[in-house]
């Protein structure tokens, strides 16, 4: 039996996938801090320190802080793009909630926003 090598995703690969997900409003599945997470990325940009951040609504998977009920504003996450791995675009419903909990601290310089 041969060895199967997985394609390693670069930060650029992940950026393109997340950007596509924001533009076409599709959920993503990824590993973040060692946990399998299901997100809808709403905004991609840089924080005040110039680091790439993604404002996401997490609707499934695992979370260190736990997930609240569907549509809860507590499920907003500000994610460091470089800490994502095994990112994949999913088919499925777009999830969101009112009251972005951290819009300014997450994305001071916005590249793309699902609301645009």
pLDDT tens for 51-88 read 999 999 999 999 988 899 888 888 999 999 999 999 99
Q: Could you tell me the fold of the domain covering 11-113?
A: SH3 type barrels. (2.30.30)
Joined tokens for residue 1: 């039996």
Per-residue pLDDT, 36: 96
Domain residue ranges in the chain: 11-113
Q: Model pTM?
A: 0.87
Per-residue pLDDT, 99: 75
């Amino acid at each position: 039996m041969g060895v199967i090598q997985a394609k390693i995703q670069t930060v650029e690969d992940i950026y393109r996938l997340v950007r596509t997900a924001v533009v076409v409003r599709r959920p993503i599945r990824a590993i973040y801090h060692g946990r399998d997470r299901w997100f809808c990325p709403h905004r991609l940009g840089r924080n005040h320190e110039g680091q790439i951040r993604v404002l996401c609504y997490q609707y499934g998977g695992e979370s260190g802080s736990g997930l609240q009920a569907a549509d809860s504003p507590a499920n907003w996450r500000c994610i460091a793009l470089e800490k994502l791995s095994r990112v994949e675009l999913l088919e499925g419903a777009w999830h969101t909630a009112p009251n972005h909990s951290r819009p300014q601290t997450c994305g001071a310089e916005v590249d793309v926003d699902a609301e645009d």
